[in-house]
Amino acid sequence: MNAMIEGTEVVLENKPLWWHLQGLSQTASGYGKKITTHWMVQYMGKLRRVYCTIFSNAGTCWITVKGKKIVVC
């Protein structure tokens, strides 16, 4: 699967954590400011975890680079 980060096309890799494999959610509701997804992306020479801020039925996915959030489209 492909995505865009700051105009650059990147490849998403499926790298689930243990609770993803067991069908569990990070929070009881599944909503939150920094929900860990099962996706990772190679960006600026590092493999980075994709996070999602999600409330209701809409969310924004992002990575952190040098303490700054960068949106993944």
β-pairing, 58-65 vs 8-14, is unpaired
The number of folded domains in the chain is 1
Contacts of residue 15, Cβ cutoff 8 Å, sequence gap at least 6:
38, 39, 40, 47, 49
> What's residue 1's pLDDT?
83
**pLDDT digits over 28-59, tens only?**
888 999 999 999 999 999 999 999 999 988 99
pTM of the predicted model, to two decimals? 0.89
Of the CA atoms within 13 Å of residue 12, those in its CB half-sphere come to 18
Query: Bigger pLDDT: 13 or 30?
Result: 13
Residue 33, domain extent: 2-71
